[in-house]
Structure 1
Amino acid sequence: MDDGNGDVNFNNFCQFCIVCKIKKADNLIRQENTTHPNIPWDQQRHQITTMLKTLLYFSKAPTWRILVLTDTPETFQEVLHMSEAFPSSQRSRLSLEHQPIYITPEHALDRRPCDWAKLFLSELLPQEEAVIFLDTDIVFLGPGEQLYFLLSSLDETQALALSPDPQYLVESNPRRDYAGDVGINTGVMAANLTRLRKLPGGSSGTAITQLGPIYPEPRDTQDVLNFYLKRNPQLLLTVSSRWNFLPSSACLAEAPKCPDCSAMGILVLHGADGSFHRTIDLKVFSRAFTHLSLSVPPHQLLSHIKEELSVIDRSSNVGEVGICGNYSDISQDLLHNLEQLVYGNEKVECPLLADLLLPGEGVSRSSCETLGNLLA
């Protein structure tokens, strides 16, 4: 419970997503940080299914408590129906709870009214102390329980942990205010609601509203939150891209390097801006996880993805640098956690390091393969 200083018991934290079918937009719903904000409901259903499948696949947690914020009870029932297609042993690990969204009158006519809900979390979720918000167009590539680290990393003044979005650096028409060194992305957001309730009005949304008009006019709540956090940097913890890897931004030349992505593997892959469909490499990962069966053994999934990647003609469409020129082997970073799931701490002989190792000494399989890819 809250100790009066904004510290909370993170054993009680949950994850949540926002799912809406906006009537005024012909059955289209919101999507974060994109020039095409309205996407078909069928596509959103596939995204939610993939997000939940990959969460279960990589996690060892016995249960996951997930709040689904929706515009109508019927939308929540559709989400429940999606999860019923999972094997019963996996479905029983999901505790899906419904939470209706309250949309303030001033935002009801916005082109993405549900988007504003995540700025009023401390009011919408009065019973919660801390939450992790997830966009529905993300794919887990490792254990979702690692997200706990984001909440536990907040210091005594910080309330939000977010990954960088260097797209703000290259936008110039118009130039927008951004938080941190390069801007932040809200696709994965760790929030200490206890601290947000201490803001004027009891939430970030109300505190932002009290600032008055924002110029230039924001495209979405991500722009709004960047504007606010630039003026309140003490509330923000910027974490590395491994927690929310958005290729359209993370692969820019201006993007900060992410040693964590190589050392620990990318945990969450974010498909905003059509990232999953831009390059051949990412299409391989997108197809593999979209069509993932929860009964497929990890070694079989790994073998399938590697086989698909091995036959890609990299001279077609993507050029020699592959999907991300900032990284020597981004595919290895994307596969890191899956390889850990398959091989664990298994040590193998690595001829490439024979002169550096003692007789009989081995290294991890993934380390040897990474070195081989670098020298190829």
Structure 2
Amino acid sequence: MRLARLYYTGRARQAVPRAPSPRPATLRPPLPAGHPADAGVKEPKSPQLGMANGGASSRHGHASPFVEVIESDQCWTSRGGIQGAMQTCHLYLPVLPFVQHWTRDGLNRRARMRGTIVYLLTALFYSALLLLMLSHSGLDLNSDSITYITFGSTDQDKKNEVVFFIILCEGNAQREEASSIARQLRQAAVMVKSAAALTSTTLRYLVVADSKELYYNFSNLTSGWPVEYQRRVSFEWYPVWYPEDREDMRSMFRTCATERLFLPDMFPSVDAAIYVDTDLIFLSPPEDLWAEFQKFDEVQVAAMAPCLYHYGSFRNKVPFYGDTGLNAGVMHMNLTRMKDFPGGGWIAANMKVFDIFKKRIKLADQDILNILFYKYPEYLFELGCEWNYRMYQCSDGNKCPGAARSGISILHGNAMSFVKGNEMKLQTVFEVWEQHELGKPLTILLSELERKLKFVSSQHLPSKCVRTHNIDDMLTRAIKKHIL
């Protein structure tokens, strides 16, 4: 670049006479025979230099200043001082080995300096790029979120990815049994296992927990799985968050039970996800549940299954959706649409409901959601009852026609029906899944399940659902369909 700029100045420098150089004679030996300067030729014969020099000479009608300097034997007076002289001598007098070495060392030093600068700039660029990628992945660099991935993907845009919300919190003293964290983790382990066993895609769990230790305990539930199944799941931790003026909602019913109402603000970059309670067992592939999003119309923001009990009874004191109310154990959430919910957005609308009905609310967020969709029923898509089947739906005959037709898709062990010992039909399903080893054929699980369900009936173990004559078929039909 320096040569090109000097050649195109078009102004030949006047040779300046100078006293003989005191430098050693070896620095300036005689010109070799045939050198352009020795022959009086003003154009160098080097193809590379001749192109530039020739261009300047033909364009401006005079010789290059480099040739003049050489012709006047004033190598040390060219523009740029000693450095310029070294460059000139190096280019036109290649027979000067010492000057060549001196020039090459200088160039090497400058090249190393430029290389260092380029390296630092490159490192800064990739560091900034990494920070940008992390900021868009949901990872908070202030330790507000941790991503723990066991071979899975965390990119929601990946095709066929199913995204779940799970909320885990330590129990309080008033409801120690119902909120026992050991029980929550035990049930969550079975829920995640059943989903992984039946899925053919990636399951992404966004875990909202009130401590990192609790999150690590949850994410480590899969550490003993075969790698093939570990690849199917990923976990990310996010801390519990309530607005400062809503901290009183944290302990309603049980700790963090109302946290899901604030999820749209906590996850601004997540488009859609499914909230799931920890006491669920998948009996159909999770991607079939995700496919229910495709049934939404242009305004619906959420989906829940009917409750089929409680809200029509004397126990309930609040307005509710539909004929039997909604159960919030499984809830599809289109978080993008929720931001534009009537009444100032999703959170504002829910807080208005809470402020008006808080003295009558018994079931925390479930009551709030029922009141909300009582007022705005057009914004809810109703799931089939087979996606949230509970013991109250079979304790006095089957109340879910969808489960009778196609089998139970998700079994919900609310009221501790998986562990309490008072509903052994449902608890048997939980225990068989808990004991199942991933990697073994599901036909083994199915055979064991059928055998133990019959044992409950034959031994008259505690169960009200035994009154539903086809309960065993309802509990196994979806798995049979998946296997066959």
TM-score greater than 0.5 by the shorter chain:
yes
Amino acid at match of 2:417: S
Aligned residue in 2 for 1:48: 188
Q: Deviations over 1:307-358 (max 9, x none)?
A: 2223334573557xx6164x5412111101221233x1xxxxxxxxxxxxxx
Return the alpha-carbon distance in structure 2 between the equivalents of residues 159 and 57 of structure 1: 29
Question: Could you tell me how far 1:68 is from its partner in structure 2?
Answer: 0.8
Residue 136 of structure 1 pairs with residue 269 of structure 2: no
Question: Could you tell me how far 1:26 is from its partner in structure 2?
Answer: 5.0
Q: Assess if the C-alpha contact under 8 Å between 1:103 and 1:116 holds in 2.
A: no
Residue 100 and residue 332 in structure 1: after superposition, are their counterparts in 2 closer, same or farther (change >3 A)?
Answer: same
Return the alpha-carbon distance in structure 2 between the equivalents of residues 160 and 148 of structure 1: 12
Query: Among residues 335, 339, 342, which one is paired with 2:480 in the alignment?
Result: 339
Return the alpha-carbon distance in structure 2 between the equivalents of residues 315 and 92 of structure 1: 41
Return the alpha-carbon distance in structure 2 between the equivalents of residues 234 and 97 of structure 1: 33
Instruction: Say which structure, 1 or 2, has more relative contact order (CA 8 Å, 6+ apart).
Output: 1
Amino acid at match of 1:14: V
Residue 284 and residue 171 in structure 1: after superposition, are their counterparts in 2 closer, same or farther (change >3 A)?
Answer: same
Equivalences for 1:1-376 in 2 at 5 Å? 14-22=163-171, 25=172, 38-61=178-201, 63-109=202-248, 110-111=251-252, 112-200=254-342, 203-211=345-353, 212-214=355-357, 216-248=360-392, 250-251=393-394, 256-258=399-401, 260-276=402-418, 277-314=421-458, 316=460, 323=465, 325=467, 327-342=468-483, 344=484
Aligned residue in 2 for 1:372: none
Mind listing any 5+ residue stretches in structure 2 that lack a counterpart?
1-155
Amino acid at match of 2:289: L
Q: Assess if the C-alpha contact under 8 Å between 2:306 and 2:382 holds in 1.
A: yes
SS in structure 1 at match of 2:465: coil
Q: Assess if the C-alpha contact under 8 Å between 1:70 and 1:76 holds in 2.
A: yes
Q: Assess if the C-alpha contact under 8 Å between 2:305 and 2:383 holds in 1.
A: yes
Question: Could you tell me how far 1:256 is from its partner in structure 2?
Answer: 4.9
SS in structure 2 at match of 1:157: coil
What TM-score do the two structures reach when normalised by structure 2?
Answer: 0.61
Q: Assess if the C-alpha contact under 8 Å between 2:391 and 2:423 holds in 1.
A: no
Return the alpha-carbon distance in structure 2 between the equivalents of residues 181 and 252 of structure 1: 20
Residue 159 and residue 254 in structure 1: after superposition, are their counterparts in 2 closer, same or farther (change >3 A)?
Answer: farther
SS in structure 2 at match of 1:86: coil
Mind listing any 5+ residue stretches in structure 1 that lack a counterpart?
1-7, 30-35, 345-376
Question: Could you tell me how far 1:51 is from its partner in structure 2?
Answer: 0.7
Return the alpha-carbon distance in structure 2 between the equivalents of residues 208 and 11 of structure 1: 31
Return the alpha-carbon distance in structure 2 between the equivalents of residues 315 and 175 of structure 1: 40
Return the alpha-carbon distance in structure 1 between the equivalents of residues 368 and 212 of structure 2: 28
SS in structure 1 at match of 2:200: coil
Residue 308 and residue 257 in structure 1: after superposition, are their counterparts in 2 closer, same or farther (change >3 A)?
Answer: closer
Q: Assess if the C-alpha contact under 8 Å between 2:425 and 2:466 holds in 1.
A: no
Q: Assess if the C-alpha contact under 8 Å between 2:162 and 2:203 holds in 1.
A: no
Return the alpha-carbon distance in structure 2 between the equivalents of residues 230 and 203 of structure 1: 17
| Higher share in helix | 2
Return the alpha-carbon distance in structure 1 between the equivalents of residues 216 and 326 of structure 2: 32
SS in structure 1 at match of 2:304: strand
Q: Assess if the C-alpha contact under 8 Å between 1:139 and 1:268 holds in 2.
A: yes
Amino acid at match of 1:230: Y
SS in structure 2 at match of 1:114: coil
In the alignment of these two chains, the number of paired residues is: 321
Q: Assess if the C-alpha contact under 8 Å between 2:304 and 2:332 holds in 1.
A: yes
Structure whose CA Rg is larger: 2
Return the alpha-carbon distance in structure 1 between the equivalents of residues 292 and 175 of structure 2: 32
Q: Assess if the C-alpha contact under 8 Å between 1:180 and 1:238 holds in 2.
A: no
Q: Deviations over 1:77-131 (max 9, x none)?
A: 2212222122222112211112222122344342434222211221111011111
Q: Which 10-residue stretch deviates more, 307-316 or 212-221?
A: 307-316
Amino acid at match of 1:44: Q
Residue 333 and residue 73 in structure 1: after superposition, are their counterparts in 2 closer, same or farther (change >3 A)?
Answer: same
Return the alpha-carbon distance in structure 2 between the equivalents of residues 69 and 203 of structure 1: 22
Aligned residue in 1 for 2:27: none
Moved over 4 A (4+): 8-13, 26-29, 200-203, 252-256
Q: Deviations over 1:234-282 (max 9, x none)?
A: 111112111111122x236698542x32333211100001223332322
Question: Could you tell me how far 1:200 is from its partner in structure 2?
Answer: 5.0
Return the alpha-carbon distance in structure 1 between the equivalents of residues 384 and 378 of structure 2: 18
Amino acid at match of 1:251: C
Question: Could you tell me how far 1:222 is from its partner in structure 2?
Answer: 0.4
Q: Assess if the C-alpha contact under 8 Å between 1:166 and 1:254 holds in 2.
A: no
Q: Assess if the C-alpha contact under 8 Å between 1:17 and 1:133 holds in 2.
A: yes
Return the alpha-carbon distance in structure 2 between the equivalents of residues 27 and 294 of structure 1: 37
| Cα RMSD, aligned residues only | 2.7
Q: Assess if the C-alpha contact under 8 Å between 2:276 and 2:329 holds in 1.
A: yes
Residue 262 and residue 167 in structure 1: after superposition, are their counterparts in 2 closer, same or farther (change >3 A)?
Answer: closer
Identity %: 25
Q: Assess if the C-alpha contact under 8 Å between 2:396 and 2:465 holds in 1.
A: no
Q: Assess if the C-alpha contact under 8 Å between 1:142 and 1:268 holds in 2.
A: yes
What TM-score do the two structures reach when normalised by structure 1?
Answer: 0.77
Amino acid at match of 2:233: L
